Amino acid sequence: LQGYPMPEIIWNRGEQVLEVNPDKVAISEDRKQLTVLNVQIEDEDEYHVRLVNEFGEATSKAKLSVLGK
Q: What's residue 69's pLDDT?
A: 65
3-state helix, strand, coil in the chain (%, to 5): 5, 50, 50
CB-CB contact of 46 with 63 (8 Å): yes
Cα–Cα distance between 25 and 32 in angstroms, integer?
Answer: 13
Cα–Cα distance between 38 and 57 in angstroms, integer?
Answer: 31
pLDDT digits (tens, 9 = 90+) for 18-68: 999 999 999 999 999 999 999 999 999 999 999 999 999 999 999 999 987
Total-model pTM: 0.87
